[in-house]
Structure 1
Amino acid sequence: MSAVPYRRVLVKVSGEALMGPDAFGLHPPTVTRIAADLADARALGVELAVVVGGGNIFRGVQGAAKGLDRATADQLGMLATVMNALALEAAIEAAGTPARTMSAVAMPTVCEPYSRQKALSHLAKGRVVLLAGGTGNPFFTTDTGGALRAAELGCGALLKATNVDGVYSSDPKADPAAVRYERLTHSEAIDRQLGVMDAAAFALARESRMPIIVFSIQEPGAVTAVLRGEGRATLVTA
């Protein structure tokens, strides 16, 4: 534990990361690998909360673009995050680490409703807490939900797990001239309109002075490497 500077962190895992090589849904070997990485991170002694996206199943913005009412589309996206969280919970438990899914959208026959006090209790008992349902409200992304939960749970850092190894000036998959940043401030990320997270998430993290570490979750052991300061990542801080 002495090698890890954080007592508690929140990891934001995108829904797309759970697809693996597939074009849609959950790729079981990828889910198993990410779950094992999260379990290993917990074994370092770090209290671990996880916010899961839903873009591998349904993305609210895309649904609205196809004619759905935006609020309804976002509610469908919230349900997708619950599906992903339950899949990760099962995989983390199979890896030998206790886990609990909590949803901001109440569905008590499926998982626990989210409350800050109960989430803190689970964390103190060594359980990985998977936070689904976003903020429970439409028009807010799971990135914003991650920044909100990280702040209210008193996390030392928000780890943004993506498909690229940091923050770039533009999409490195589409622009070979994209510049990778080693370090940024929250204000710089907002002013430069860097798309790795939405502006509301960066603003909330800035207000709570929450460092954000952006890294790729494509390789095994990525979360533990970042926690030890060994991984390739971009640090966004005050």
Structure 2
Amino acid sequence: MTTSPVPATDPTPDPDPAGTTYRRVLLKISGEALMGDQGFGLHPPTVQRIAQEVQSVHALGVEICMVIGGGNIFRGLQGSAQGMERTTADYMGMLATVMNALAMQSALEALRVHTRVITAIRMDEVAEPYIRRRAVRHLEKKRVCIFAAGTGNPYFTTDTAATLRANEMSCEAIFKGTKVDGVYDKDPIKHPDAKRYDQVSYDDVLAKRLGVMDASAIALARDNNLPIIVFSLDEPGGFRGILAGEGTYTKVHG
């Protein structure tokens, strides 16, 4: 396979991101975050809004990689529960994440943000195969890397894939964008008296089953001392604000 030439218009890496706590982060969002008010599929205005959030952080000089789920198109576990063979269902879910990654790439490049979709399953006509050193080099050149197709293996969630890639890319934190502004002791949508944690330990997340990420992802983050920042992706400017030390969020750490 030949390597694509480096575009002459790629920006020169900044030596130090101004006004931010982190130099390199991974943003994890669910596929459902791309649905907007629809019950299924992609909502282009919502994809564009999230791309603008990413672009605003990228403009600070922060190196960004992303993992997007595929639940807006297909959930492997649900397909398996309906009688489909689990491995096949999981591979279908992985392909759904590729579709979402390509949609996000299109939205980001419309904002003049250089982007690479990198897949764990080879599909050379639409994306690059995952090669760690090449992905790191893309980040160093300030390209946003969108990792798709999970880990390339069934039985692993995109949460686990996000934690794996964040560790491989030497990210300083995982930012998990959700519909609520942090981690609560119970569902704040159903329970108005739910209490939000400012900080919570990995062990408490596992013991109390707080639902931040699946257990494998939390354990992998804990073993590598990788903090997880849970924040609301629905709040305009929230991603950039938290990187600047503002806004409401929960930090999961040791």
1:5 corresponding residue in structure 2: 21
1:145 corresponding residue in structure 2: 161
- Report whether the alignment pairs 1:70 with 2:86: yes
SS of residue matched to 1:61: helix
- CA RMSD, 1 decimal: 1.0
- The answer to whether the 8 A contact 1:34-1:220 is kept is no
How far off its partner does 1:170 sit?
2.0
- Report whether the alignment pairs 1:232 with 2:251: no
Q: 1:191 aligns with which of 197, 207, 213?
A: 207
SS of residue matched to 1:32: helix
Question: 1:145-194: per-residue Cα shift (whole Å, max 9, x none)?
Answer: 10110011100000011111111112222233322111001111111111
1:54 corresponding residue in structure 2: 70
Q: 2:32 aligns with which of 4, 12, 16?
A: 16
SS of residue matched to 1:145: helix
- Single out whichever of 187-196 and 207-216 deviates more from structure 2: 187-196
* TM-score scaled by length of structure 1: 0.97
2:123 corresponding residue in structure 1: 107
For 1:25 and 1:222, the matched residues in 2 are separated by: 24
2:96 corresponding residue in structure 1: 80
- The answer to whether the 8 A contact 1:143-1:201 is kept is yes
For 2:198 and 2:77, the matched residues in 1 are separated by: 30
- In structure 1, the gaps of 5 or more residues are none
For 1:110 and 1:97, the matched residues in 2 are separated by: 18
1:76 maps to amino acid: M
1:45 corresponding residue in structure 2: 61
For 1:86 and 1:73, the matched residues in 2 are separated by: 21
For 1:78 and 1:131, the matched residues in 2 are separated by: 11
1:33 corresponding residue in structure 2: 49
* TM-score scaled by length of structure 2: 0.91
2:191 maps to amino acid: D
1:205 corresponding residue in structure 2: 221
Percent identity, aligned pairs only, is 55
- Report whether the alignment pairs 1:132 with 2:138: no
SS of residue matched to 1:160: strand
For 2:30 and 2:108, the matched residues in 1 are separated by: 17
- The answer to whether the 8 A contact 2:29-2:178 is kept is yes
- The answer to whether the 8 A contact 1:213-1:236 is kept is yes
For 1:226 and 1:186, the matched residues in 2 are separated by: 20
1:201 maps to amino acid: A
1:74 maps to amino acid: D
- The answer to whether the 8 A contact 2:27-2:174 is kept is yes
1:223 maps to amino acid: F
2:135 maps to amino acid: A
Q: 1:180 aligns with which of 176, 196, 213?
A: 196
- In structure 2, the gaps of 5 or more residues are 1-16
